[in-house]
A and B are shown apart, each in its own frame.
Chain A
Amino acid sequence: GQNIDQPTEMTATEGAIVQINCTYQTSGFNGLFWYQQHAGEAPTFLSYNVLDGLEEKGRFSSFLSRSKGYSYLLLKELQMKDSASYLCALMDSNYQLIWGAGTKLIIKP
Chain B
Amino acid sequence: NAGVTQTPKFRVLKTGQSMTLLCAQDMNHEYMYWYRQDPGMGLRLIHYSVGEGTTAKGEVPDGYNVSRLKKQNFLLGLESAAPSQTSVYFCASSHGEEAEKLFFGSGTQLSVL
Q: Which residue of the partner chain, among B45, B90, B103, contacts A96 with CB atoms under 8 Å?
A: B45
- When chains A and B are docked, how far (Å) is the Cα of A43 from the Cα of B105? 9
CA distance A46 to B32 in the complex (A): 19
The complex places the Cα of A102 from the Cα of B37 at a distance, in Å, of 11
Q: Are B104 and A42 in contact (CB under 8 A)?
A: yes
Chain B residues with Cβ below 8 Å from A44 are 104
Complex CA gap A89/B101 in Å reads 11
**Chain A residues within 8 Å of B105, by CB:** 42
Q: Which residue of A lies closest to B35 (CB)?
A: A99
B99 CB–A CB distance under 8 Å: yes
Interface size on A, residues (CB 8 A): 23
A101 to B101, CA, bound (A): 18
**Residues from chain B with Cβ under 8 Å of A42 in the complex:** 4, 90, 104-107
Interface residues of A in 35-73 (CB under 8 A from B): 35, 40-45, 48
Q: Which residues of B contact A (CB under 8 A)?
A: 4, 40-45, 58-59, 90, 99-107
Pairs A–B under 8 Å by Cβ, sample size 18: A31-B100, A33-B100, A35-B102, A40-B107, A41-B107, A42-B105, A44-B104, A45-B101, A45-B103, A48-B101, A91-B100, A95-B99, A96-B59, A97-B43, A97-B45, A97-B102, A99-B42, A101-B40
